[in-house]
Structure 1
Amino acid sequence: MSSSYVPLAPATVALDAEGRLYSPAYGDVYHSPAGALGQAEHVFLRGNGLPERWRGRDAFTVCETGFGLGLNFLALWRAWRDDPARSAALHVLAVEGHPFAPADLAALLARHAPGPLAGLARELAAQWPLPLPGLHRLEFDGGAVTLTLAFGEAQTVAPRLDACVDAYFLDGFAPGRNPRMWEPALLRELAAMAAPGATLATWACTGELRRALSESGFDARRETGYGGKWHMTVATARAEGARAAQARARIRPRGHAVVVGAGLAGAGIAQGLALRGWRVTVLDAARAGGVAAHAGHVAAALTPVVARDDNARARLSRAGSARALARWRDLPEGAAPRVCGTVQLERDEGRAAALAGTLEMLAFPAEWVRQVDRDEAGALAGMPVARGGAYFAQGMLMQPGRLIETLLALPGVTVLPAQVARVHQDGGQWQALDAAGRELARADTMILANAAGARGVLDASGLLEPWLPRVAQMHALAGEVTLLPAAALEGGPRCIIGGEGYLLPDTGEGCVAGSTYVHGAEQALISAEGQQVTLGKAAGLLGAVGPAWNALTPGSLPGWAGWRAVLPGRLPAVGELAHAPGLWMAAGYASRGLSWSALMGDLIGARLMGEPSPLERDLAGLVTPR
């Protein structure tokens, strides 16, 4: 087990003798039920000069430590809503080491949220995520209000945050009860995100805290406290933080962006930008050839992965799955995810003990992943399976072709069939040029999302070597899936069955079995050999197959064939090119196009708009094009 991984310990619910919500772990109360709203308004809003400081701003960002029930957030949100001169957007970044389970938070807010906050509290509870480590992005008021929850120990989480913060709410348990939340090292990490003129407020007031704030780059002073407390602390950052400066440098005026590629990567970026008010032109070589990239791709699975050390691939997968569900669940039927669950079978029975140990160490909620034996796996699938494994309740069946077309039809998005040969910077803008050198489109911001084609465009543009040695190793890997008649499977499985290959529930058109991996292919084709492989993989997942299955003839079945763009390490390359400002790429999604699509679209959108990043800095660094 990696020494860097610390399981998340959700909050336990307790009340003290006076009926106040109490933390047994820290021996301290969360809030006084009678004074929570007054404390939030006096200490945190007025202490940070709000609402005046956000007026006339495009966006205003708040960072809170010790989110608890979210009463400070709710008071902030209410004040923002009630202010006709409010900023266009409000972003809140909140650190919480012991988040409540969703059912507990809903019940506690129903009891403890002050009356004026009750409606907003119900909206918060409706979106509250399971207590899983990492970042969770929630959106309210049509996306004008965002809440990025960072679940994990503050000392671990804070160095990973990427934001430009205008105001800080320090609301951890008392320094005497939870001293780690007030350590100078943590305050320095928070100060690194301070925007010019950033302010800070907290109910805590000790000379030691003021000295720590001063050493971290804040000028701190005492002010009159609240609710019988004589004093509180307010502070102002002396200088802009290093991470804030980096975040601010990436901001571009909302305008026009050109996206090259209309597959899962390009569609996710188009959505991420269009929802933020950008005008997006998508250039698609596949349509120029007469067929959209995922036309005929009836179904695919979107399932997270787990790893014993919760490595980067597992963390990215978990974050991507959550972002996909949040972004796509309200799309029209066919494009929206079908949350049917996934039974991920172990390769052999001998690995069951290892899986049990992994899940015990990770301590993820059983509502998200749990171990199942062969009988329970078969009951979940509605048909006999070969082995037990892990059950992911949020495993999703997706229809890629329908999803892509829906995202590309969003207001503000225009799709043009065009083959981009190279790009060129001209007068501060990026031009997309065809093979004859004709301009196809231009914009200040251009994103190459055309899978393995991005490598060729960069090479032809003189932008590949020596700056991007990893991208230079990107290659295309062919593969196919097979569409089986549901009748051959007595209706098909009720949930996704994964393992060595996969078998998906019936979409109405049949059950998809996959997939093949063909190195060195010149074309991505449906073939008898490929169907032999996909049928064999599917049969290996099942406990038994019947006569109708045995009657299936490889080479006679419908299916879909396409390409995967693969980079060393099988992580994507997403971000702005350091040697070509304004030019971005999002490619190398390999077999995880659905997992990365929405997350990377929002990562790029958040960076361009100066929002807190929906992805931790260490993970973003791993996928930075290089």
Structure 2
Amino acid sequence: MKARREPLQPAHLTLDAQGVPCSTLYGDVYHSRSGAFDQARHVFLRGNDLPQRWQGRDTFTVCETGFGLGNNFLALWQAWRECGARPQRLHVLSFEAHPFTAADLARALAGHEGEMAGLAQALVDAWPPLIAGLHRLEFEGGRVTLTLAFGRIEYLARQTEARVDAFFLDGFSPRVNPQMWSRELFGQLVRMANEGATAATWCSAGQVRRDLAAAGFLVTRVPGFGGKRQMSRAVLRPGLGRPAPRPQREPVIVVGGGLAGTGVAHSLALRGHAVAVFDPMFRSGPGGSHEGHRSAAMTPALSRDDNPMSRLSRAGILLAHQRWKGLHDAYVRCGSLLRVPESESGLWRAALRELAQPAEWARWCEAHETEAQVGHALRHAGVWLGAGSRVRPAALIAILLAHEGITVHPRAVASIRAGGTGWQVLGDDAAVLGEAPRIVLATATHTPALLAALFPDAHYPRLSAMQRMGGQVAFFRAGDLPCTHAIVAGAGYWLPEDGGIHTGGSTYVFDTAVSEPTESGFDSVAHKVAGLLEIDAARLRAARAQPSGWAGWRVAFSDHLPMIGAVDARESVWLACGYGSRGLSWMTLAGEIIAARLNGEPQVVERELLKSVRAR
């Protein structure tokens, strides 16, 4: 547990007497003085027989044990670009205990020229906030991915899930950085290895070679680079490893066209799956499930102990930002101010110091700063969350479902049965609406009944405790109300104006048969927003817009976590449900978790987080 909770200690760009980047923490250089790219090509690419080994492959995965300045990744990316028989998708999983800030990384890579300069700039532009855990970056339209594992490798190697074809062993020297060369670490690499996986390193130390052999590699020494007489190459022993994934890009049916179903459908379509989405709400258009829902808030979940909900929310929001940042008609990152009760301000200040997350993600905001941050002066402080975003849900859903690999069907799925190519979905009249080898249930409250009919003898304790809630948001005319340019959140939320209308939220209504805007619901929202903005609720009631609000449904579990995972041994039936009020935060995350599993890609979150949301 301690390894996970330790804040990151970033590296600082330092040059030695020869101008080579070096680590003051370990007293070692980041690459050979004979050249970073020449070393990458000789030691790691040729050492793993690349690009020859990936030719004709659909997908290829590399695992690197020390990201450093990213030179190995950039050299690999360039080699992929230049290879005519390259794999369709190249995945890189890279560990780094002490990542550089984006500013230091930019300075270190500033000397590159030509094509490499463009690749380096793309890496800097995509660089994530320095927070421990996994961070997925996408390049080349998603055909090249980089999964960065920030934190101590002895912890994260046990938490990563991948199917690896080649290993770049590139930690600092075993003398100063022994945890990067331990037998335990090599054992975790074998756990992730595909059959015939190879490894290469500049290191030729006898103990390292013996430990690699003990873990399951056949090790040889070959001529080294840059004054080093020898380096090590290795190949996994026959009989070890898993078969390399061979994605079939099989068709998939998604039941449910709301946020959950849309996120899954979009991630699968980006991989080349033909996806059919069924939802009767499509009769009102692709965004029919959120028709009339003008704006919604996507604010990171924040906890003082960085619990699983916070970590999943963070991963989901960062993934969503990569996918949506160009969708200006649907998505605007504006920041959120999380209001904190004055009685808890000391606890939150202490928690932020202990978490030591970068200010770009979360920082304390004093009361005198609120006018500059939000556009409206408040008497009390809070936590500023730079990733807070305003989203137009209906527009977002319509944009994502417009992908050429997705077809939408305005039909309700009444039942599912085995048959044909795998699973058939049937309408109310028992007519077959579609069939596919795999199916994803993302239809909220209808999921338990559909699943029970498929697997009558199975028991899903979390699913049986599903809670359904109605709720509404309220709309207010802009003008004489505080004209904020950021989200204000706490016991409710307030959004910047959109088309002359502010949205405030929200209510939670249990044990109701219908969910629709009501007078009492509007008053409840007005009361919550008045507390957030520190104004009289009468001002909000006087600014009531027409229509005055929108109502919908939420489905959640008691632990406030979503359910994402397969329910059968063949992984042909998946669930994506229970998002509660965080559908925007988790929709892309769920899609990536499912798509990564089906296509043999590195997972986007740690194994313990996958366990926390699994279906069984």
Which bracket does the TM-score occupy, shorter chain normalised? over 0.9
Match of 2:509 in 1: 518
Structure 1 residue 462: deviation in Å? 3.9
| Native 8 Å contact 2:526 2:540 kept in 1 | no
Which range moves more in the overlay, 117-126 or 440-449? 117-126
What root-mean-square deviation, in Å, do the aligned CA atoms of Structure 1 and Structure 2 show? 2.0
Structure 1 residue 547: deviation in Å? 6.5
CA displacement 1:407-459 (0-9 Å, x = unmatched): 11111211111111221111441111123322111101111111122112112
Structure 1 residue 9: deviation in Å? 1.1
* 1:415-564 equivalent positions in 2, closer than 5 A: 415-459=408-452, 461-463=453-455, 466-490=458-482, 492-545=483-536, 548-549=539-540, 551-552=542-543, 558-564=548-554
Closer, same or farther: CA 210–168 of 1 in aligned 2, 3 Å: same
Number of equivalenced pairs: 615
Closer, same or farther: CA 203–580 of 1 in aligned 2, 3 Å: closer
The DSSP-based 3-state class of the residue aligned with 1:607 is helix
2:348 matches 1:349: no
Structure 1 residue 297: deviation in Å? 0.8
Match of 1:43 in 2: 43
2:308 matches 1:316: no
Query: Given the two structures, how large is their TM-score scaled by the length of structure 2?
Result: 0.96
* 1:129-144 equivalent positions in 2, closer than 5 A: 129-144=128-143
CA displacement 1:61-111 (0-9 Å, x = unmatched): 100011011101111111111111222221111111111111111111013
Aligned equivalents of 1:463, 1:317: Cα separation in 2:
31
Match of 1:378 in 2: 371
Closer, same or farther: CA 4–82 of 1 in aligned 2, 3 Å: closer
Aligned equivalents of 1:448, 1:591: Cα separation in 2:
18
Aligned equivalents of 1:217, 1:309: Cα separation in 2:
38
- For structure 1, the residue ranges without an aligned partner over 5 or more in a row are none
Closer, same or farther: CA 343–416 of 1 in aligned 2, 3 Å: same
**Which amino acid in 1 is paired with 2:434?**
A
Aligned equivalents of 2:82, 2:516: Cα separation in 1:
58
Closer, same or farther: CA 439–547 of 1 in aligned 2, 3 Å: closer
Structure 1 residue 206: deviation in Å? 1.0
Match of 1:360 in 2: 353
Structure 1 residue 548: deviation in Å? 4.0
The DSSP-based 3-state class of the residue aligned with 2:98 is coil
Match of 2:165 in 1: 166
| Native 8 Å contact 1:256 1:280 kept in 2 | yes
Aligned equivalents of 1:547, 1:592: Cα separation in 2:
29
2:324 matches 1:328: yes
Closer, same or farther: CA 340–465 of 1 in aligned 2, 3 Å: farther
Closer, same or farther: CA 402–86 of 1 in aligned 2, 3 Å: same
The DSSP-based 3-state class of the residue aligned with 1:57 is coil
Structure 1 residue 618: deviation in Å? 1.2
2:332 matches 1:338: yes
| Native 8 Å contact 1:2 1:309 kept in 2 | no
Identity of aligned residues (%): 45
Closer, same or farther: CA 546–566 of 1 in aligned 2, 3 Å: closer
Aligned equivalents of 1:120, 1:550: Cα separation in 2:
53
**Which amino acid in 2 is paired with 1:215?**
A
Aligned equivalents of 2:239, 2:76: Cα separation in 1:
24
CA displacement 1:387-424 (0-9 Å, x = unmatched): 21100112111111110111111112111111112211
Structure 1 residue 122: deviation in Å? 1.6
Aligned equivalents of 1:90, 1:305: Cα separation in 2:
32
2:297 matches 1:301: yes
CA displacement 1:356-399 (0-9 Å, x = unmatched): 11111111111211101222123311113352110011211111
The DSSP-based 3-state class of the residue aligned with 2:461 is coil
Closer, same or farther: CA 587–464 of 1 in aligned 2, 3 Å: farther
Closer, same or farther: CA 530–84 of 1 in aligned 2, 3 Å: same
2:608 matches 1:621: no
**Which amino acid in 2 is paired with 1:146?**
T
2:381 matches 1:388: yes
| Native 8 Å contact 2:563 2:613 kept in 1 | yes
Structure 1 residue 20: deviation in Å? 1.4
| Native 8 Å contact 1:193 1:241 kept in 2 | no
Structure 1 residue 544: deviation in Å? 2.6
2:393 matches 1:400: yes
Match of 2:185 in 1: 186
CA displacement 1:321-380 (0-9 Å, x = unmatched): 10010011122x322x2111000010x212111111111111111121110122212331
The DSSP-based 3-state class of the residue aligned with 2:444 is coil
The DSSP-based 3-state class of the residue aligned with 1:570 is coil
Which range moves more in the overlay, 143-152 or 384-393? 384-393
Structure 1 residue 612: deviation in Å? 1.0
